[in-house]
Amino acid sequence: MSEIIILFLGAISAGLLGSLTGLGGGVIIIPLLTLGFGVPMHYAIGASLISVIGTSSGAAVAFVKEGFTNMRIGMFLEIATTAGAIIGALVSGMLNPNTIGIIFASILLLTVILNLKGKPDHQEPVIKGSLEDKLKLFGTFPDKGVIKSYSARNTVPGFLMMMFAGAMSGLLGIGSGALKVLAMDNMMKLPFKVSTTTSNFMIGVTAVASALIYFQRGEIIPAIVAPVLIGVVVGSVIGSKTLMVSKTKKLKTFFAIVITILSVYMMYKGITKSFS
Q: What is the pLDDT of residues 22-41, one digit of tens each?
A: 566 677 888 888 888 889 99
**164-173 pLDDT tens trace:** 989 988 998 8
Beta bridge partners of 147: 142
Question: Please, are residues 231 and 9 in contact by the beta-carbon 8 Å criterion?
Answer: yes
**186-238 pLDDT tens trace:** 889 998 778 877 887 888 788 888 899 999 999 999 989 999 989 888 887 77
| pLDDT on residue 247 | 57
Phi, psi of 142 (to 5 degrees): -80, 135
Question: Please, are residues 47 and 175 in contact by the beta-carbon 8 Å criterion?
Answer: no
C-alpha–C-alpha distance, residues 275 and 237, integer Å: 42
Q: How does DSSP classify residue 170?
A: H
Question: Please, are residues 202 and 24 in contact by the beta-carbon 8 Å criterion?
Answer: no
Mean pLDDT, rounded, for 178-185: 80
Closest CA to 28 of 213, 275, 266: 266
Task: Indicate whether 43 pLDDT > 60.
Answer: yes
Task: Indicate whether 243 pLDDT > 70.
Answer: no
- pTM of the prediction? 0.82
| pLDDT on residue 215 | 92
Task: Indicate whether 264 pLDDT > 90.
Answer: no
Residue 200's alpha-carbon distances to 54, 110, 203, 228, in angstroms, are 11, 19, 5, 19
**7-22 pLDDT tens trace:** 888 888 877 776 666 5
| pLDDT on residue 59 | 62
| pLDDT on residue 24 | 64
Question: Please, are residues 16 and 239 in contact by the beta-carbon 8 Å criterion?
Answer: yes
CA angle 107/83/114 to nearest 5° reads 25
**70-110 pLDDT tens trace:** 989 999 999 999 999 999 999 998 988 888 888 888 888 88
C-alpha–C-alpha distance, residues 177 and 148, integer Å: 24
C-alpha–C-alpha distance, residues 205 and 201, integer Å: 8
Per-residue confidence at 184, pLDDT binned at 50, 70, 90?
confident
C-alpha–C-alpha distance, residues 274 and 276, integer Å: 6
Task: Indicate whether 240 pLDDT > 90.
Answer: no
Mean pLDDT, rounded, for 243-249: 57
| pLDDT on residue 58 | 62
Of residues 245 and 217, which shows the higher confidence score? 217
What b/e string do you get for 7-44 counting C-beta neighbours within 10 Å, with b at 16 or more? Answer: bbebbbbbbbbbbbbbbbbbbbbbbbbbeeeebebbbb
Residue 192's alpha-carbon distances to 2, 64, 68, 166, 276, in angstroms, are 42, 15, 10, 20, 45
Task: Indicate whether 148 pLDDT > 80.
Answer: yes
